[in-house]
Structure 1
Amino acid sequence: MNAYRMKPLAFPWPPLIYGVAIAAAFLLQAYFPLEVAETNMWYAWVGGGLFVVAAVVLDVWAMRTLLDCHTTILPNRCSTYLVTSGPYRFTRNPIYLGYTLTTAGIGLALLNPWCIVTAIVAAAVTSLVAIRREELHLLSRFGIDFERYCNGTARWI
């Protein structure tokens, strides 16, 4: 592996990507509103709230697992340990999945359908900008162990 692929991200892009996605959703709703039937709005509030709570639980669980394994949480730092326990048993990117669920949950709770659209776009951009680079970093650090992990665990869900 060359030195370029061994480096993790230079900047932690995913939080910025999802922040821009949420801001874009609100701007899109302001300038290009999508009508939503407002009957039984409490269903949307409860559903959106459940998405956000599930996302926060997933993020905290993932970060706690990383800390317990004595490796970094930040995507711009070198990993010292290949984490395959906790939520990492089910998805290779539980923190990014949490960001996506949060964005979608905010849209559902606030009846902003653009949040669903921008959550999908943010997930795609995160895959291109961050996940591919992080996976190259993990492959160069952990080799065959990371390949085995990838074969048994989905990237998102």
Structure 2
Amino acid sequence: MNAYRMKPLAFPWPPLIYGAAIAAAFLLQAYFPLSVAETNVWIARAAGGILVMTAIVLDVWAMRTLLDCHTTILPNRCSTHLVTSGPYRFTRNPIYLGYTLATAGIGLAMLNPWCIVTAMIAAGMTNAIAIKREEMHLLSRFGIDFERYCNGTTRWI
């Protein structure tokens, strides 16, 4: 049994990456403020609220789908089933997509443009640190079924 079969990550990094991204955005705004035009502030706040709500719905739907399929939600645990239903029909990483949308939505709602920048950085870091290892884990566990799933479903959107 190879190391990828054991577990994909030693530690669940993605929630910490996105938490750090939000914290960094607020620190950057405090020390290097980016001005936001005062016109149509309510549109930005409404769009941010919609993004955050979309992210919550997506995350809850993805987690519920994983639980219904009797596999783990935690990225540092071994997957027992290949899940291709629910939001996983549209994206291979709906939870991480939800984190990214929530981070950008918080930025819009709080009028902090740095959140959008840090959301993109967090998505890149999550891709490099977590998603690549998770995909190797799933490939070693589910082989051709996972390859077929990857060919028909995009990684992010």
Q: Deviations over 1:94-143 (max 9, x none)?
A: 00000000000000011100000000000000000000000000000000
Matched residues in 1 for 2:131 and 2:22: separation? 20
* Corresponding position: 1:12 with 2:31: no
Matched residues in 2 for 1:53 and 1:67: separation? 21
| Structure 2 equivalent of residue 59 of structure 1 | 59
How far off is 1:39 after superposition? 1.3
The aligned amino acid for 2:43 is Y
Q: Deviations over 1:37-65 (max 9, x none)?
A: 01121111110000000000000000000
Matched residues in 2 for 1:38 and 1:52: separation? 22
The runs of 5 or more residues in structure 1 that have no matched partner are none
Moved segments of 4+, more than 6 Å: none
Matched residues in 2 for 1:98 and 1:156: separation? 10
Tell me the number of residue pairs that the alignment of Structure 1 and Structure 2 aligns.
156
Alignment of 1:1-157 (within 5 A): 3-6=2-5, 7-157=7-157
TM-score (norm 2): 0.98
Matched residues in 2 for 1:51 and 1:87: separation? 16
The runs of 5 or more residues in structure 2 that have no matched partner are none
**Aligned to 1:143, what secondary structure does the other structure show?**
helix
Matched residues in 2 for 1:128 and 1:67: separation? 26
Superposed CA RMSD in Å reads 0.7
**Aligned to 1:21, what secondary structure does the other structure show?**
helix
